[in-house]
Amino acid sequence: MVTPKNWLPEQLRPGAHTISPTAHYTGYVWAHHGLGEPRLATLQGRVMHTAGRAVMGPLELMGGPTLEHFLLARHRIIDRLLDREIASGSVRQVVELAAGMSPRSLDLVRRHADVTCVEVDLPAMAARKKAALARIGTDPGRHHVVAADVFSASLSAVFDALDPDQGIAVVTEGLLSYFPADRVLNLWCRLAQELRAFPTGVYLSDLHVRSSAGVPDRLFALGLGLAVRGRVHLHFDDDAAAADALRTAGFATPAVHAPSEYAGDLPGMTAVGADRVRVVEARP
């Protein structure tokens, strides 16, 4: 017998990991806007994208954040910073934590013959990504997908398997807002420690701060929390507080970038909602 529980896609059924639906949504947004491999987009992502455009319409009319715009802004800024590190020769290994259906690692492996990428996600999403990459084709010697919980001890094995003589970048895109501040700070402490084992290291991530969040933003955060069946967190009062927390965790001279800084270099940086996100760049 078909019931509402068993006809839903696995990632959307009650009891599934709460962040997986947004991985499908963001994957579709990137493909829809020509960022990376379009075959990484999923049917679930397309359905969520169509529904999201209807739901977010009223918020946009109120001057609130447009979800697509800040997703695109953060992705483009992280890519710009990562490309700079690779071009300088300081980074030859990239680890994407909670990678979901991100096209970033596949794109990097295709564009750089001397870069190795490791994508980390929970088992169900990692299996889906492996299957998608097998269909699309990638270099299995330089592009790996690993099943692990980024908050568990199993994450250490990911770093232990890397080349200790090559520089590394760690990316957490779209992850932090779904966890409380104590877990984020613990993760930052751990990543700072792991990065010290390499000759050079940089950490790149998006985050949201309370100073940029008005009433429409808070309504959006509430709606997104309902969609992923969890709370969406705004961890810090402002950019300075976020930088202080990174320093406390073991990062030196962290930078917190606003999309407006890239208005002359990257598309979409002044779109409605784009400046609601920040991108962290930090080194141990």
**Cβ atoms 100, 174 nearer than 8 A:** yes
**DSSP-derived secondary structure for 139-177:** -TTTEEEEE--TTSTTHHHHHHTS-TTS-EEEEE-S-GG
Q: What is the pLDDT along the chain (284 residues), one digit of tens a residue?
A: 333 334 334 433 333 345 566 777 777 776 777 787 888 777 676 676 666 666 666 666 666 556 788 889 999 999 999 999 999 999 999 999 999 999 999 999 999 999 999 999 999 999 999 999 999 999 999 999 999 999 999 999 999 999 999 999 999 998 998 888 999 999 999 999 999 999 999 999 999 887 655 555 555 555 554 444 456 677 898 999 999 999 999 999 899 999 999 999 999 999 877 887 899 999 99
Pick from 63, 40, 43, 67: nearest CA to 54: 67
Q: What is the pLDDT of residue 39?
A: 83
Quote the tokens at residue 277. Answer: 């996100």
Q: How far apart are the C-alpha atoms of 179 and 183, rounded to whole Å?
A: 6
Q: What is the pLDDT of residue 212?
A: 55
Domain 66-213+232-283 has CATH 3.40.50.150: yes
Residue 117: helix, strand or coil by DSSP?
A: strand
Q: What is the pLDDT of residue 227?
A: 47
Residue ranges covered by each domain of the chain: 66-213+232-283
**Cβ atoms 281, 254 nearer than 8 A:** yes
Q: What is the pLDDT of residue 22?
A: 73
